[in-house]
Amino acid sequence: MSQKYVYLFADSRAEGTGKMKDLLGGKGAGLAEMTNAGLPVPPGFTITTEACTAYYAEGEKFPEGMWEEALAALEKIERSTGKKFGGTENPLLVSVRSGAKFSMPGMMDTVLNLGLNEETRAALAELTSNERFSYDAYRRFIQLFSKIVMGIDAEKFEHKFNEYKKKLGVTEDTQVGAENLAELIEDYKAIVKKETGRAFPTDPLKQLELAIKAVFASWNGKRAKDYRRVHKIDDNLGTAVNVMTMVFGNMGEDSGTGVAFTRDVATGEKIIYGEYLQNAQGEDVVAGIRTPKKIAQLKEEMPEIYEQFSQVAERLEKHYKDVQDLEFTIERGRLWMLQTRNAKRTGSAAVRIAIEMVEEGLIDKATAVKRVEPAQLDQLLHPMIDPKSPVEVIAVGLPASPGAAMGKVVFDPDTAEEMGKNGEKVILVRTETSPEDFHGMVAAQAILTSRGGMTSHAAVVARGMGKCCVAGCGDVIVDYANQLFTVGELTVRKGEWITLDGSTGRVILGQVPLIEPEVSGHFRTLMEYVDEFRKLGVRANADTPHDASVARGFGAEGIGLCRTEHMFFEGDRIDSVRQMILSSADYKALEAQLETAKAEVEKASKDKKPAARKRVKELEKKIKRPSELYIGALSSLLELQRGDFVGIFRAMNGYPVTIRTLDPPLHEFVPHDDQTLKDLSKKIKMPFKEAKARVAQLHEFNPMLGHRGCRLGIVYPEITEMQASAIFEAAVKVKREGVVVKPEIMIPLVGNVNELKLQADVVRRVAEEVFARENERVEYLVGTMIELPRASLTANRIAEVAEFFSFGTNDLTQTTMGLSRDDAGRFLPFYVDKKIFPDDPFQTLDQEGVGQLIDMGVKRGRSARPDLKVGICGEHGGDPESVIFCHKVALNYVSCSPYRVPIALLAAAHAALADETGATAAATTA
Amino acid sequence: MSQKYVYLFADSRAEGTGKMKDLLGGKGAGLAEMTNAGLPVPPGFTITTEACTAYYAEGEKFPEGMWEEALAALEKIERSTGKKFGGTENPLLVSVRSGAKFSMPGMMDTVLNLGLNEETRAALAELTSNERFSYDAYRRFIQLFSKIVMGIDAEKFEHKFNEYKKKLGVTEDTQVGAENLAELIEDYKAIVKKETGRAFPTDPLKQLELAIKAVFASWNGKRAKDYRRVHKIDDNLGTAVNVMTMVFGNMGEDSGTGVAFTRDVATGEKIIYGEYLQNAQGEDVVAGIRTPKKIAQLKEEMPEIYEQFSQVAERLEKHYKDVQDLEFTIERGRLWMLQTRNAKRTGSAAVRIAIEMVEEGLIDKATAVKRVEPAQLDQLLHPMIDPKSPVEVIAVGLPASPGAAMGKVVFDPDTAEEMGKNGEKVILVRTETSPEDFHGMVAAQAILTSRGGMTSHAAVVARGMGKCCVAGCGDVIVDYANQLFTVGELTVRKGEWITLDGSTGRVILGQVPLIEPEVSGHFRTLMEYVDEFRKLGVRANADTPHDASVARGFGAEGIGLCRTEHMFFEGDRIDSVRQMILSSADYKALEAQLETAKAEVEKASKDKKPAARKRVKELEKKIKRPSELYIGALSSLLELQRGDFVGIFRAMNGYPVTIRTLDPPLHEFVPHDDQTLKDLSKKIKMPFKEAKARVAQLHEFNPMLGHRGCRLGIVYPEITEMQASAIFEAAVKVKREGVVVKPEIMIPLVGNVNELKLQADVVRRVAEEVFARENERVEYLVGTMIELPRASLTANRIAEVAEFFSFGTNDLTQTTMGLSRDDAGRFLPFYVDKKIFPDDPFQTLDQEGVGQLIDMGVKRGRSARPDLKVGICGEHGGDPESVIFCHKVALNYVSCSPYRVPIALLAAAHAALADETGATAAATTA
């Protein structure tokens, strides 16, 4: 039996249905559905995706029977419309469009007015009593067909048209009359002949055949193939072809064309929203030559049509249970629906529509949750640039931290702080930022850097603060000496206004109106729905009591990562940190010597004892100063950290707080300019030369792989002791206030279980000491970051000691891929651009590689400790796709920056709902 | 039935055998074996390891029946010797020693003369007619027993003895007479009373009981436990206790004691080799107070004893089929054997003995191969410091590259080169080395650095050259300004002589006689045996024709890693490299602009064409200079590299040569001092400011994880093209000469199969171009380094493109463990010292972590391509333990520095033989 390749839709009856997207493509299925629903759809037919596949299987030939079926369908359309394809009285013209299952860039555009030639054009002229209209239609058809089907550069036609306009001394297309258009058409045909060596086809059936083949060909065009490769779409799906009767919105004042949405896709308000143009074709609406009217005006101008349209709109929305994006044409007072599809919408509209549709009983809560994309929430959480305002974009960098902000350009943190104190809005512009710029970043509205990637210091800190940041904007050349930056020829000086869009990476000259975010009642309702479905916990990365409060406000269920060192830069506490670091090595060395010397006194024979004792005395004298410095610094840091933890514990009353012990290499804290170091050495009375030597000694070739993480705490256990004391003393204090406190101490950069053992021993010992001293206990956990491949590989060993894991996916990505996030800017954009990597792995988790190590880490960890709590605290914790992965590999929670908590919550709900769908599908199959 | 805890050996009959090492310990089994062989062994008994285990199981009590069995055995000894324990006529004295299955530091030393008290001493005095002898024996016993069994500081006894000598005005122990010794013994007893509160035990049985318990206790001493933890020895094995009749070598001129080997353990010569002392006890030999005589003298002094001894020696060697390390005592003209065990030997002795024993028919070839430890060969391949020479060690660094060398200290490579040219021997001393020091390293005898680890630049390059290097010697403070280095108080200036021992890390002041290595006939024979057994291939890492020849000489079966960039530093070719780098970015940027501009000319409308054409002209003009520089540099490098490859291919005629494309970050090649850069920029006529900016631009925070490896070739495909051209042009050339050439092009740092695809495409395209141009083809492979965790994790994907894998375990270790080998010096020694890591993972492969990724990479790679050839080319390829691992995970070959090829070959044979043993064992079990 021969296969059916062509599906007719005409006269309220379609051979296909809305469910047949695989066979008819999205567009064809929609047209069938509308036709079956009795809506006014111009008759037409869809050639199936299977025809396309067969076309390729048979060496680019139409499969047997297809063309005959198409001709038969065409005949039925002729019967339905009373028109005739190629007819010289009432000619049938058609549009031809591609329509794959997924819409795909690179696929063929629409060819309109197919079927025109000199004869049919003349008939059209007569029929419409409009000579110019017929010539214009023919001109447009030749131009479009030549470009799309025959592959001739459109520029050549435009160029010819422009010559005419120039000659005629006019500027608008519409000012070119029928006679000139007729001449132009001859010129167009000459161009086609010259470019292809063949005449422009005049046989409508030939035109149709070529157009269908062009659609099929576009399926295997380079862009479409690349797109499929990247998005992993099967090459064998094929595309459908939709052939539909042309209707004309440009047949006079009783005609028109428009697009409309069944609700306002900007705000979500339940109101038909759209635009139309009287006496115009679709192209004209898009071209923007004439200003379209609001759809509301249609109510006044054509009340009956409006009434009919609004009923159609309502039916379609109810039918599809979602907001529809509609295309329609009015031909001589008759409404035709050309397309319906689910409408794209802004984040806030998505939320409102989802909630209101639940309230209207149209959809259930699960559907409402699925209707909002997690990434869309981002818009709701940050100010945005008013899309209606014209902007002067001078450069585009990485969208490092979303939102928009404007301010005066400043180039150093001190000025930023000073101007900020005076109430001025500033934007801090740096080549890159370092922890020493922190106070300036706090004072600034936003940060712009010319170097560094999505996880550079600037980006990470800005995201943590929910502050707009554009990073790695290579076109911006910062000139600190002259306090200006340049972009090509343009110079922007200190004090000039710029606006940053951290959601798109745009750097904009001057001030631009911003739209403030509004966390509306609908948003809150959505989050309530979300909590009914999601299984994955969501915590926040928060380093200060303020961050902790913000995080709770957004619904965080605890802190998944508190980076103790981020507190080190507040106020002048950095001095204590530096004092600790500068004195540490000296202290440790002398301490070791002293220990040996003391042991030697014990062992020494009587005659050698005095000398040995003398040595001890000398060392005791020598260690006094470093000891004062080191122990002094540690104890002042203890005070400060204890205070911080008290604030954080209070803010997180009842929720767990995961505190990471000191992680970054020490050289990140010390000053690298001589003057600051001189001031510091004066302040702490340490010889400058010594301080300088210590700073030099801290230099590392690859600090990322250097002396950091638990390796610090192992060599300097006093630092871990100090931090543990601060945590437990704070915990005991707030417990007495009635706060429910759940500290989780997290040891970073563990690669070998022995490292964790040593550090966990220190933490547990200090805990017992504090509890004994205070006569009060708190429950706590000791766990580790899993951020090295070796930690994942030996997770079963590590879980013997660790009570919880938290995947540090930033560092795990760096080590697994051998990719420094600070340096990758030189090739990573190139890699992502050329699709060598599917995504920036620092934004979206590399599931194929890093994901394997996470899965392995979870499984092996739980093999040793079945109740092991596992989370993730890298940047990926706030990336929807990565959150869904985390759900799949059965993590207990994700942790992300406070401002991304709602996004993670929603993504978690999506993941859980996807499970249910999968489960239902499985149940049905079984 | 009660368990048997005590095994007697007496009168040529032992209850145990030499096979019962588990139960009797190594020593006890040896004594049983000798006794059974009818050799003269003083009667005694062994308390089993099971008794020790039971002792702990029962709360540190002797298990039921043990003591009674011991007493029964003692009675049998009394019967055999005619002596009586605690007897006042002919008292039996015994020695008590520990004896676990494995000898272990921290286990109890020997207690001699046990059974003495005032009465038995008096009997001994009478029996020997030597009052002083008896007192001295008693004194020694108290001292030893107090220290070992009762835990009293030996210093206290020494101190007391010294007081006596001082009082008497004598210096030697032997000068203290019987009377004084008697007094001293009373003082000793007083010390014991004071320190322990108890009297020194006088009951011999009590002494025995305490000594046995002390042996058991030492099993659970801290040092022994630590040792077992580190060496993964089961805590439940327990130790045996050997109680044996004392024999005295110090009973006059017809008595003596000695140690001997059945062959010369320094040279391997088949000759009894050892020392003895007349009228002395074992202690005296060790103490070195008197100079012992060569064993040959015994032949003259006591010919019968010598004859008997040499027969015993021969019997034991034949019995154990290995060189024996013997302890003996002659008591009044009667020979007693106290111990026999397999002897430790030097590398060259091990080789000679193994080969000669095969020739003697004593062992088979497989045994001979197993008898030589791979690491022992290292000694045979490098000069060594004459162990007989006294040396002044001033510091100890890392043994970075084995061998020994001396020379005058110099501090910069130019001086090294200059002095080297004048025939002077120099040692290059640097804080650390960089590629720019290469010529100095070539000229120097050896290299000493104060920073950097086992895989620092200095270490790697030195090992590659087979040149002695001591690295990371932190005590050496280099002062370039004053051309000296200090170690503590000591100053060593330029021109002063030092000697380095790269096998131990010692830095020695002055000149020391060296022993040159000799690759003897035995060595060659051993390598022939090795080839009969090993299955794993062994290649060499070689970067020059010279290295390649050396490698072939050592038996390498090809090159596993040829680092093209190592050739970049020879002569002045570095200038071309630098020119290429400095011009590359400029060239690439302009090239991209030019391409865009040309496309714009195409697209531009007529009126805009002139402007667009002008832009193209401008860019063409602008690109001329960078183009000349870039293309020029590339083509001169092409010439040079082609020449290198020709030489290497010739040296490796018939064997594969794996060539890695450019790997290190570009900044490693550019000068970092302004003067060199100025000279260079003048030479290549590039503005200094531009050159400087480019150098600055190349800076990376973590170069290890930065823009290097295939990431270079992907952004700069011209470089890969140039290298591929050089390889294939060279291959074609040598093929025409009749050389069998097998190039294998290896792409470094691949983490994603797409990276490899792009680079492999370039290589294959260039290959076809060269073959077409030259009308000649060569077979070749394209493969990749697996040196990122992600590469192992996705090895199945990568193997779709790669024709071979080579594990770059240096980088794989760095990324898997998150450990920079350049920076780890700050904590890695601490880690290894504290046993946080079992070994330096850059020396011995981290099998638990990195090993998993290798295993995974092999399995997954072969799942996609079953015939995938897999090797390893990290430093670990020359480490015996790691080679065995490579055999186990079924690699095809290992590749190591030429000077380690024989070591790898031997280790490979060991691995294969271990398989066979395993297989035999399995077969027996089955």
> CA of B811 to nearest chain A CA: how many angstroms apart?
9
Distance between CA atoms of B874 and B851, rounded to whole angstroms? 13
A702 vs chain B: nearest CA distance in angstroms? 4
pLDDT at B926: 41
Checking if the pLDDT of A922 tops 60, the result is no
A830 touches chain B (CB under 8 A): yes
Active-site entry in A473, A562, A710, A873: A873
pLDDT-derived band of residue A286, with 50, 70 and 90 as boundaries?
low
Who has greater pLDDT, A386 or B576? B576
Distance separating alpha carbons of residues B779 and B741, to the nearest angstrom: 8
For A836, nearest residue in chain B (alpha carbons): B754
Query: Looking at per-residue confidence, does B601 or A424 come out higher?
Result: A424
The closest alpha carbon to A43, from A4, A86, A14, belongs to A14
Residues A338-366: what's their mean pLDDT? 92
Whole-number Cα distances in Å, B837 to A276, A588, B269: 74, 22, 40
CB distance B827–A704 less than 8 Å?
no
Please provide the DSSP assignment of B760-823 as one string: HHHHHHHHHHHHHHHT-----EEEEEE-SHHHHHTHHHHTTT-SEEEE-HHHHHHHHHT--TTT
**What would the mean pLDDT of A307-332 be, rounded to a whole number?**
93
Which of A208-217, A464-473, B101-110, B232-241 has the weakest average pLDDT? B101-110
Give the containing element (helix H, strand E) for B916.
Answer: helix B901-925
Highest mean pLDDT: which range of B244-258, B534-548, B565-579? B534-548
Q: Which residue, among B230, B705, B712, would best test binding to A if mutated, counting the most A CBs under 10 Å from its CB? A: B705
Percentage above 90 pLDDT, chain A: 60
Rg (C-alpha) for chain A, rounded Å, is 35
Q: Give the pLDDT confidence of A570-614 residue by residue, as tens digits.
A: 767 888 999 999 898 888 888 888 888 887 787 776 677 788 888
Nearest to A822 among B702, B714, B789 (CB): B702
Q: Decide if A435 touches B, using CB distance below 8 A.
A: no
Write out chain A residues lying below 8 Å of B787, CB-based: 818
Structure confidence by residue, pLDDT tens digits, A67-113: 999 999 999 999 999 999 999 989 999 999 998 887 776 677 788 89
User: Is B919's pLDDT higher than 60?
Assistant: no
Residue A697: what pLDDT?
Answer: 83
A287/A279 Cα distance (integer angstroms): 14
**Average pLDDT in chain A:** 90
Determine the pLDDT at residue B829. Answer: 81
- The 10s digit of each residue's pLDDT in B858-899 is 999 999 999 999 999 988 999 999 999 999 999 999 999 888
pLDDT band at B855, cuts 50/70/90?
A: very high
Residue B335 in 3-state DSSP? strand
**Which amino acid is it at A804?**
F
Per residue in B658-716, pLDDT tens? Answer: 999 999 999 888 888 888 899 989 988 888 988 888 888 888 889 999 999 999 999 99
Quick: pLDDT tens for B748-791: 999 999 999 999 999 999 999 999 999 999 999 999 999 999 99
Judging contacts by C-beta atoms under 8 Å, the chain A residues touching residue B817 are 751, 788-790
pLDDT of B523 over the 80 cut: yes
Distances (CA, A) of A506 to A349, A496, A900, B537: 24, 17, 21, 57
Q: Which one-letter DSSP state was computed for residue A544?
A: S
Select the residue of B705, B709, B827 nearest A711 (Cβ to Cβ): B827
Angle in degrees, CA A637, A638, A642, rounded to 5: 115
**What is d(CA B460, CA B452) in angstroms, rounded to the nearest whole number?**
11
Provide the token pair at A564: 């103790």
Mean pLDDT of B644-670: 94
The confidence score (pLDDT) of residue B520 equals 63
Whole-angstrom Cα distance, residue B196 to residue A183?
A: 125
Count of CB contacts below 8 A, A vs B? 175
Contact B803, A719 (CB under 8 A): no
Does residue B570 carry a pLDDT above 80? no
The predicted pLDDT at position A925 comes to 44
CA distance B273 to chain A (A): 39
Q: Where residue B46 falls among pLDDT bands split at 50, 70, 90?
A: very high
Give strand pairing partners of A467. none
Q: What is the pLDDT of residues B351-398, one digit of tens each?
A: 999 999 999 999 999 999 999 999 888 878 888 888 777 888 999 988
How far apart CA A730 and CA A735 sit, in angstroms, is 8
The pLDDT of B407-425, averaged and rounded, is 90
Rounded Cα distance between B540 and B902, Å, is 10
pLDDT at A635: 93
Kindly report the number of other CB atoms within 10 A of residue B479's CB atom: 13
Beta bridge partner(s), residue B277:
B257
Task: Report the C-alpha gap between A914 and A535 in whole angstroms.
Answer: 12
Q: What pLDDT, on a 0 to 100 scale, did the predictor assign at position A409?
A: 96
Q: Please check the confidence at residue A867 and state whether its pLDDT lies above 80.
A: yes
* β-sheet bridge partners, residue B894: B538, B872
* pLDDT-above-90 percentage for chain B: 60
What is the predicted pLDDT for the residue at B236?
85
Residue B288, pLDDT score = 53
**DSSP helix, strand, coil percent of chain B (3-state; round to 5):** 50, 15, 30
Q: What's the CA gap between A891 and A886, in Å, rounded?
A: 6
Looking at residues A509-531, what average pLDDT do you find?
A: 85
Measured between CA atoms, how close is B394 to chain A, in angstroms? 19
**What does the pLDDT read at residue B832?**
85
**Burial classification of residue B605, based on how many CB atoms lie within 10 Å of its CB (0-12 exposed, 13-18 middle, 19 or more buried):** exposed
Confidence at A829, pLDDT banded by 50, 70, 90: confident
Write the residue in A158, A751, A823 that is nearest to B701 by C-beta: A823
Q: Are B828 and B840 in contact (CB under 8 A)?
A: yes
Select, from the ranges A133-137, A447-451, B520-524, B808-812, the one with the highest average predicted confidence (pLDDT).
B808-812
Q: State the Cα angle at A470 between A467 and A472, rounded to 5°.
A: 140
Contact A96, A243 (CB under 8 A): yes
Query: Is the Cβ of B159 closer than 8 Å to some Cβ of chain A?
Result: yes
Whole-number Cα distances in Å, B330 to A706, B77, B123, B745, B883: 61, 19, 21, 69, 47
Contact: A818, B815; criterion CB under 8 Å: yes
Question: Chain A: residue nearest B759 by CA?
Answer: A836
pLDDT of residue A835: 84
pLDDT at B358: 97
For A145-298, where are the E strands, in sequence order?
Answer: 239-245, 256-261, 273-278, 293-294
Task: Give percent of chain B with pLDDT exceeding 70.
Answer: 96
Q: Assess A283–B contact: CB distance below 8 Å, yes or no.
A: no
Q: Is B811's CB within 8 Å of A817's CB?
A: no
As a whole number of angstroms, the distance between CA B757 and CA B760 comes to 5
Question: Mean pLDDT over residues A912-922, rounded?
Answer: 71
| pLDDT over 70 percentage in chain A | 96
Residue A519: the pLDDT is: 58
* Predicted pLDDT at B784: 98
Q: Which of A819, A832, A834 to mutate to test the interface with B (most CBs of B within 10 A)?
A: A819
What's the average model confidence in pLDDT over A429-450?
88
Q: Which of A446, A448, A451, A469 is nearest to A459 (CA)?
A: A469
Structure confidence at residue A813 as a pLDDT band (50, 70, 90): very high
In whole angstroms, how far apart are CA A302 and each of A254, A273, A278, A296, B407? 8, 16, 10, 10, 104
* Short-list A102, A77, A97, CA closest to A144: A97
Query: A230 vs A785, which has greater pLDDT?
Result: A785
| Residues B228-232, mean pLDDT to the nearest whole number | 72
Q: What is the pLDDT of residue B285?
A: 61
CA atoms of A88 and B370, how far apart (whole Å):
100
Sorted by sequence, the CB contacts under 8 Å of residue B520 that are 6+ apart come out as B348, B351, B352
pLDDT for residue B924 is more than 70: no
**What mean pLDDT is predicted for residues A637-651?**
95
Task: Tell which B residues from 590 to 609 touch A, by Cβ distance under 8 Å.
Answer: 603, 605-606
CA distances from B436 to B439, B513, B569 (A): 7, 32, 7
**pLDDT, tens digit, 9 for 90 and up, residues B278-290:** 888 766 665 555 6
B507 has a pLDDT exceeding 50:
yes
pLDDT category at B538 given cuts 50, 70, 90 is very high
pLDDT of residue A122: 94
Tell me the nearest-neighbour CA distance from A848 into chain B, angstroms: 8
Q: In B, residues 438-497, which contact A (CB 8 Å cutoff)?
A: none
